[in-house]
Structure formats: C-alpha cells, structure tokens
C-alpha cells in the first residue's frame, strides 16, 4: 500500500510539472503573438482538458489556478500585475476557472467510467478465461479420470457418462446415453437401485454411498461402490451425479477372507481348538468362537481375561498363572495342560500353548495362543492305559499259567520239607523222654520252610496283582533276583543254567515294580523258550550296569535258536510270534512298558548262538506318559 501511494504522488507531481511547463510555453507564445485574454483563455482551457485526460481532478484544478494567474498577470490590463482593472476581464477569468473546473470534473468522471469499463471488461475476460479453463479442467477430469461417472435424471435415464465409465462396462458413451441406468445392474440388485435412487432424490443435496453389482456388456459381474448426490440442474430439473469405484477385487478378497475365516472356524470346531490373542499393553483380548464354546460362553458374550481365569480349575489356577507370568517376564513361549470347570460343574481337560509377538524395537506386544480341548483324548488315553494294564495282566496270568508245573514244584518243596520237619518234631516229643531241643530245632526248620512257601506264593500273587501303575523307587537288581527265583524251576526242567552279572550299588529308578517284573519275566521266559529245543545245555545270562546319558543298561542273553533272519524289529509287533502256542503280545507289551518309563528295548543277534535283549531305564526321576 505505501508503495502505491508513492507511485500516485510522483505521478501527480510529474503531471503538475508537465502542465506547468506546457502553460508556461503557451503563455510565452501567446504573449509574443499579442493574443488577447479570451483567445489565450481558450488555449489554456484546451491544455487543462488534455491534462485532465492524463491526470486526476486535483492536478487539473491546480493547473487551472496557475493558468488563471497567468491570464491575470500577463493578459489582463494592467499587465505584469495580478490586479484586473476591467470587470469584463475579471468575468472572463472567473468564467475560465468555472469552465475548466466543470470540464475537468466531467472529463475525470468520463475517464473514471472508461477505466471502470475497461477494468470490468478485463475482469470479465479473466472470468471467462477462468471459466473456460475450469470447464476444460473438469471436462478432462470427467473424461479421463479412472473413475466411472454417470449423470442420470430422476427417472433413471443416463444423461451423460465419461468414456472410462462406458469402457469399463464394455460400452461406448453413445451406447449408454439415453438408456435406463437400471439395465446396467445385476437383476437381483435392481430393486435396491430403485430404493437408492428414490432416497437420493428425496434427500436432495446429500451424498449417499452403497455397494452394488453391475453387469458388463459381456455378462460378467463387477462390484462397485457408488457415491451419489441429487442436485437441481437447469430449469430446476433434478439430476443425480454418481461416481462409481470398481471394488471387485476388494469384494472378492473380503469373500475369500470370510470363507477362510469360516473354514478356520469349522476346522477349529472339528479339532476342538480355540485361538486367542492378548495385547499386553492395552489388555484387549480376542477369543475365537470355538474358544468361547470350549469355556462354556455363548457366542454373543465378550468375556474378559478374569472371566476365563475364573473357569480354570481351582487346583490348577495357581500353576497356570505362575507359568504364564514367568513366560511373560522372560518373553518366552509357554505350554501346559490344565483343567477347566464349566458352569454346570463338568470338567474339561485342555492343552494350552502360546508364543510372544514383538514389535520392530523388540518390545513385547501381545501373546497369541491356542487352547485345545483334550477331554476325549484324555478319556481315550485312560481307557487305553487301562486296556494295556488289563492286557498286561492277562499276559502275566497266561505266563504264570505256563509256569504252573514249575511253580507247583517250587511250592511243593518247602511244604514237603515242612511236613517232614513236623513229623520229626512230633517223634521227638512222643518219645518216653522227649527231646525238646531236637523238637525245637525241627519246629524252627518247619517255620523256615513255611516262610519260604509263603514267600513264593506272595511273589506269585504280586505278579497277578490288578491295579493301575504305581511309580516308586525300585532296585532293578532286586527285581531281577526275584524273577530268577520264580523261574529257576522252569529253567531246571531243561538243561539250562542261569548266570548273573549284576553291578552292585546301582542307583534306583522310578518305575512300577510289577511292570518291571513282567518285562524281566517275558525276556527270561523267551530266552528259556529259545533254548528248550537245542540238544546242548543252554545258558541264560542277565547283566546290569550303568550306561551313558544317565541310564541303566540291562541285558538278557541266551544261547538258543536266535532271531528270525532280518526280522529283529518285527518281533516287537503285536501278535507277531515264532512260537506255535504263542499269541505274540509279550515283547510288544514289554516294549510299551519300557518306553512308558522313558527307556528303550531292542534285540540283537549274538555273534555265536542265540540272541540278546537289551533295555535302558533312566536314572533321573521323571514322569513319562
């Protein structure tokens, strides 16, 4: 603004200076030519008019005053004086001032009007140019924008469509103009199009959006998102402006995602496995529908973490919270089994596992995990263990049945000895002079024999014992000696000797006493069976020693017929047997028992005659299922 003011000031000053010079020059010329007052006044008036066309009214008025002074000083007698002696000359000078003022004012107004007209014309030209540019710009946007644009009237007739929109649907612009827009929509969606159009016209000026299907000229269906607004066009005619975005790929991706989620939910339902995610920062919790079902919640419920914790069995709650907190503090995975209690009081067994998720800076963000309903598996495992226990007991009973003759002989010996000692005791007591010392010795021998028979029967009863596995610390050498004691009679029936090489001071193992008895009984009996048919005397060797990796190694070797050729591992299959009267379960059960104790059972052929069955048992106290 100050810059403009300075420009106007210097321009006015320049006009005043120019006007003063022009008046001075004209005054000199008129004075030399001897022109009278009226003529000079007319010439001054012409100069003033020219100055008013160039400058502003104040500048012209100042120049008029200067010209009036020149007239009075040089041309009105007395000359060279501002005093005017004749009234007529004074009237001429005043008339000159009035005329110059009026003419200058009128010229200024005309000039201002002309300038305003020129400015208005320039503004109009600029507006028209801007309008042309805007129209061109919007025409380019309408025709070249990769969005489908439609203009339809209230009845649904297409008034205009951009080339991209027509091309996207497989048409030309001329093919669509003037035709019902309804024909472009999927038939099942046309009723929705009618409702949307009516609602759009009803809510004039409001933008509305929806997703709907359109049909291309070749019959293919695409999904579009339409944004429409009804406005008043020329002659107050209602038109609807519609912008369409092709969302087919997004819609297909959504459908695939929904289908994938449905498959996942069905897979989780079939697998009885629910998923969850817990944000450690916000505390937000996501739970899949199957997880809600497992915990007894309805699909509409939004249970919190505390509500899930309340469903954990009271005896398992402290353990699960401790494991989860430890994993969270160490930012590690966790996995454990626990029980949950449903509102109806029923109990479920579940298997939980989860892993942490970190952000780019390595901070823990959330835990993602699964919970699997293993109730049926637990029941099946319990039933399987019971069936295995029953089968093992049947195997023990069958084995013991095969040893009936030997066991009867073992029991008969101490009983016969006890009867003999009882008779001896009676004879010493019925003599004329009873020998109490001899009778007492005979009675002690009788007690010893009865105790021996009782021990044999006790061991037999233990082998027939029914019940679930009971783990305890067991001395393996003691179990081996007991089995040798029970089977020595069976070995004695054949020319078979039993030799032991048991390492003293071996650590005890955590095992089921009866199950280990069964394993050693099966292996020893198999060795005896393998040596029954050979002509030479056989030898059964049992060794125990400490092996590497914290295990005990026990081996049972025989000098019998050996293993079937290239079938060393098949003999452990259920129902596989080389005996005429066997059922093929002894070795299979034995391997199952050993593996349930964390060990391994295998067979190898001897370099000479016979085979060796070896097994390992862990020394460390662990729980194996």
Look at residues 370, 388, 415 and tell me which one is the last residue of a structural domain.
Answer: 370
Gap between the Cα atoms of 368 and 277, Å rounded: 4
Q: What is the pLDDT of residue 543?
A: 94
Compute the mean pLDDT over every residue in the chain, rounded to the nearest whole number.
Answer: 79
Print the domain residue range for 603. Answer: 469-625
Residues 433 and 484 occupy one common structural domain: no
490 and 609 co-located in one domain? yes
- β strands within 282-393, DSSP E: 285-287, 334-341, 347-358, 364-373
Dist. CA 273–CA 294, nearest whole Å = 8
Residue 45 sits in the same domain as residue 26: yes
Are residues 58 and 44 part of one domain? yes
CATH number at residue 209: 3.30.450.20
Residues 152 and 170 in one domain: yes
Q: Tens digits of per-residue pLDDT, 90-145?
A: 777 787 778 777 777 777 777 777 778 878 888 888 877 776 776 666 566 656 66
Number of domains composing the chain:
5
Q: Measure the CA angle with vertex 338, ends 334 and 340; round to 5°.
A: 125
Q: Would 596 be classed as within a structural domain? A: yes
Q: 250: pLDDT confidence band, cut at 50, 70 and 90?
A: confident
Of the three residues 468, 494, 527, the one that is the final residue of a domain is: 468
383, 433: one domain: yes
Instruction: Quote the pLDDT of residue 556.
Output: 93
Angle at 81 between CA 76 and CA 83, to 5 degrees: 70
Specify the CATH number for the domain of residue 572. Answer: 3.30.565.10
Q: What is the model's pLDDT at position 400?
A: 52
Is 291 a member of any domain? yes
Residues 6+ apart with CB under 8 A from 560: 527, 529, 530, 531, 532, 533, 534, 538, 609, 610, 611
Between 233-242, 390-399, 536-545, the lowest mean confidence (pLDDT) is in 390-399
Residues 321 and 402 reside in one and the same domain? no
CA distance 378 to 372: 12
> Which residue, 377, 355, 580, 597, is CA-closest to 471?
597
Q: Within this chain, do residues 523 and 568 fall inside the same structural domain, yes or no?
A: yes
Are 429 and 477 in the same domain?
A: no
3-state SS assignment for residue 451: helix
- Say yes or no to pLDDT of 623 above 50: no
Residues 484 and 585 grouped into a single domain: yes
The rounded percent of the chain whose pLDDT value lies above 70 is 80
Q: Is the pLDDT of residue 507 over 50?
A: yes
Q: What is the pLDDT of residue 625?
A: 41
Does a structural domain hold residue 131? Answer: no
Residue 387 forms part of a structural domain = yes
Band of residue 55 on the pLDDT scale cut at 50, 70, 90: low
- HSE-up of residue 114 (Cα within 13 Å, Cβ side): 8
Instruction: Check whether residue 202 and residue 279 sit in a common domain.
Output: no
pLDDT at 624 over 50: no
Whether 33 and 180 share a structural domain: no
Q: Reduced to 3 states, what is the DSSP secondary structure of residue 63?
A: helix
Question: pLDDT digit string (tens) for 563-612?
Answer: 776 666 667 765 556 554 555 567 777 888 888 888 999 888 888 788 89
Q: Name the least confident of 232-236, 543-547, 552-556.
A: 232-236
- Assess if residue 598 is contained within a domain: yes
Of 133-147, 335-349, 451-465, the range with the lowest mean pLDDT is 451-465
Q: Which residue has the higher pLDDT, 125 or 13?
A: 125
In a domain, 123, yes or no: no
Residue 139 placed within a domain: no
Residue 130 lies in a domain: no
Whether 622 shows a pLDDT value over 50: the answer reads no
Least confident of 25-39, 313-327, 465-479: 465-479
Give the pair of three-digit tokens for residue 25.
């020059």
396 vs 205, more confident: 205
Please give the full DSSP string across 84-126, using - where no structure is assigned. --SHHHHHHHHHHHHHHHHHHHHHHHHHHHHHHHHHHHHHHHH
Task: Write down which residue in 349, 370, 391 finishes a domain.
Answer: 370
């Amino acid at each position: 603004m100050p810059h403009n003011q300075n420009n106007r000031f210097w321009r006015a000053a320049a006009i005043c200076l120019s006007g003063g010079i022009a008046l001075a020059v004209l005054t000199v010329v008129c004075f030399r030519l001897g022109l009278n007052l009226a003529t000079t006044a007319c010439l001054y008036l012409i100069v003033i008019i020219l100055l008013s066309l160039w400058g502003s009214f104040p500048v012209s008025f100042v120049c008029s005053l200067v010209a009036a002074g020149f007239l009075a000083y040089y041309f009105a007698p007395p000359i060279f004086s501002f005093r005017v002696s004749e009234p007529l000359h004074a009237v001429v000078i005043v008339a000159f001032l009035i005329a110059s003022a009026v003419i200058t004012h009128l010229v200024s107004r005309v000039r201002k009007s002309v300038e305003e007209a020129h400015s208005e014309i320039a503004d109009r030209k600029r507006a028209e140019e801007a309008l042309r540019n805007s129209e061109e710009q919007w025409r380019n946007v309408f025709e070249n924008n990769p969005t489908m644009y439609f203009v339809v009237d209230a009845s649904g007739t297409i008034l205009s469509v951009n080339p991209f929109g027509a091309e996207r649907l497989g048409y030309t612009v001329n093919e669509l103009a003037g035709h019902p827009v309804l024909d472009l929509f999927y038939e099942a969606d046309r009723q929705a199009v009618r409702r949307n159009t009516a609602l759009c016209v009803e809510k004039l000026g409001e933008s509305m959006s929806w997703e709907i299907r359109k049909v291309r000229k070749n019959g293919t269906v695409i999904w579009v998102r339409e944004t429409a607004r009804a406005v008043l066009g020329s002659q107050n005619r209602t038109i609807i402006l519609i912008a369409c975005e092709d969302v087919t790929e997004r819609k297909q991706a959504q459908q695939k995602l929904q289908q994938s989620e449905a498959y996942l939910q069905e897979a989780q339902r079939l697998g009885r496995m629910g998923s969850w995610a817990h944000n450690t920062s916000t505390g937000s919790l996501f739970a899949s529908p199957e997880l809600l079902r497992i915990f007894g919640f309805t699909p509409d419920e939004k249970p919190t973490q505390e509500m899930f914790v309340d469903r954990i069995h009271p005896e398992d709650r402290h353990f699960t919270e401790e494991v989860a907190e430890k994993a969270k503090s160490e930012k590690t995975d966790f996995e454990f089994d626990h029980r949950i209690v449903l509102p109806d009081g029923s109990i479920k067994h579940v298997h939980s596992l989860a892993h942490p998720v970190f952000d780019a800076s390595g901070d823990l963000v959330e835990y993602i995990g699964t919970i699997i309903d293993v109730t049926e598996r637990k029941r099946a495992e319990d039933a399987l263990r019971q069936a295995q226990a029953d089968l093992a007991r049947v195997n023990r009973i069958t084995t013991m049945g095969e040893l009936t003759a030997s066991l009867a002989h073992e029991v008969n010996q101490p009983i016969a000895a006890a009867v003999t000692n009882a008779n001896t005791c009676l004879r010493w007591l019925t003599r004329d002079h009873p020998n109490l010392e001899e009778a007492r010795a005979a009675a002690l021998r009788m007690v010893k024999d009865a105790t021996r028979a009782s021990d044999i029967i006790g061991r037999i009863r233990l082998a027939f014992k029914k019940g679930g596995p009971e783990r305890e610390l067991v001395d393996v050498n003691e179990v081996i000696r007991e089995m040798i004691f029970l089977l020595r009679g069976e070995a004695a029936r054949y020319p078979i000797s039993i030799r032991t090489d048991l390492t003293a001071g071996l650590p005890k193992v955590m095992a089921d006493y009866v199950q280990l008895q069964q394993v050693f009984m099966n292996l020893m009996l198999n060795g005896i069976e393998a040596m029954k048919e050979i002509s030479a005397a056989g030898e059964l060797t049992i060794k125990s020693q400490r092996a590497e990796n914290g295990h005990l190694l026990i081996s049972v070797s025989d000098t019998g017929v050996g293993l079937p050729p290239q079938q060393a591992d098949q003999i452990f299959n259920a129902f596989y047997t080389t005996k005429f009267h066997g059922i093929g379960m002894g070795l299979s059960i034995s391997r199952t028992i050993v593996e349930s104790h964390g060990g391994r059972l295998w067979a190898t052929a001897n370099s000479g005659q016979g085979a060796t069955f070896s097994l390992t048992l862990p020394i460390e106290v662990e729980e194996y299922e």
